[in-house]
Amino acid sequence: MIDLYENALLKALPEETQNSLFPQLKLVKLPLGKVIYEAGQNLENVYFPIDSIVSLLNVLEDGSSAEISVVGNEGLVGIAVFMGGESAPNRAIVQSAGGAYKLSASVLLNEFNDNQSLRVLLLRYTQALMAQMAQTAICNRHHSIDQQLCRWLLLSLDRLASNNLTMTQELIANMLGVRREGVTEAAGKLQSLGVISYKRGHITVTNRQKLESLCCECYAVVKAETDRLETY
């Protein structure tokens, strides 16, 4: 049974569109670290996360990478399907394990072309995602690793039902495009301040208010734009 409240985009669809699309959705599990697609790969499906988080990363020829945005239960993975491209411009990897609803790319594209309500909804979401990408680029260039980690943690928390994340420091470093030692030092500072508790790949945020006070303005900018555009 599809729960409309598990994904904001699915919930916001008009009833007629829901009746058309929901029978074609398939509930799937997304394990931590799973690569949903690589840059340049043709997209056969899109994903509407429920309690999972997917990171979109740009990858260089030498294998180094940096996260450009995260997608959780507020959106979908695979906007290239309806933005005029047949292939993905980046890598999509599961940052936090959980479930998602999978839908055929061709089904979504046909509905996008024929359904104005769906088209407006998806374009508004895309604008919010682009705002996050732009702010992430600025943050990665001008702010400290400490601030980047705070932003990353807050964006992740907004897309989870709890304050617990399962994530290794090595994976966080890959997301932020920095050295693991830098993440270890930044996480150590947050732990010493009583903001997080970290043990064997499990991060628990114990003081969100303090975490927000330590973050740069980038998180607030992204959240404000996302909230504005998601008033469906």
Check: CB of residue 66 under 8 Å from CB of residue 43: no
Same domain as 160, residue 105 = no
* Owning domain of residue 76: 4-138
Same domain as 131, residue 151 = no
- pLDDT, residue 231, reads 58
pLDDT tops 60 at residue 107? yes
pLDDT tops 80 at residue 41? yes
Confidence at 63, pLDDT banded by 50, 70, 90 = confident
User: In this predicted model, what pLDDT tens digit does every residue of 147-198 receive, in sequence order?
Assistant: 999 999 999 999 988 898 887 778 788 778 788 898 889 999 999 999 999 8
Same domain as 178, residue 97 = no
**Is 228 within the bounds of a domain?**
no
Which of 97, 93, 64, 61 is closest to 77 using CA atoms?
93
**Is 103 within the bounds of a domain?**
yes
User: Looking at the 3D structure of the chain, how many domains does it have?
Assistant: 2
Same domain as 26, residue 121 = yes
Q: Of 138, 155, 190, which residue sits at a domain end?
A: 138
Same domain as 174, residue 133 = no
**Is 130 within the bounds of a domain?**
yes
pLDDT tops 90 at residue 43? yes
**Is 121 within the bounds of a domain?**
yes
Q: Which DSSP state fits 152?
A: H
Q: Of 121, 138, 155, which residue sits at a domain end?
A: 138
**Is 120 within the bounds of a domain?**
yes
Q: Is the pTM of this model over 0.95?
A: no
Average pLDDT, the chain: 90
Check: CB of residue 112 under 8 Å from CB of residue 119: yes
User: In this predicted model, what pLDDT tens digit does every residue of 109-126 receive, in sequence order?
Assistant: 999 999 999 999 999 999
pLDDT tops 70 at residue 35? yes
Same domain as 126, residue 163 = no
Same domain as 42, residue 68 = yes
- Binning the chain into helix, strand and coil, the percentages to the nearest 5 are 50, 25, 30
Task: Give the mean pLDDT of 137-155.
Answer: 92
Task: Give the mean pLDDT of 135-155.
Answer: 92
Task: Please tell me the distance from the alpha carbon of residue 105 to that of residue 46, in angstroms, as a whole number.
Answer: 6
- pLDDT, residue 4, reads 53
**Is 223 within the bounds of a domain?**
no
- pLDDT, residue 232, reads 52
Which of 134, 152, 127, 157 is closest to 230 using CA atoms?
127
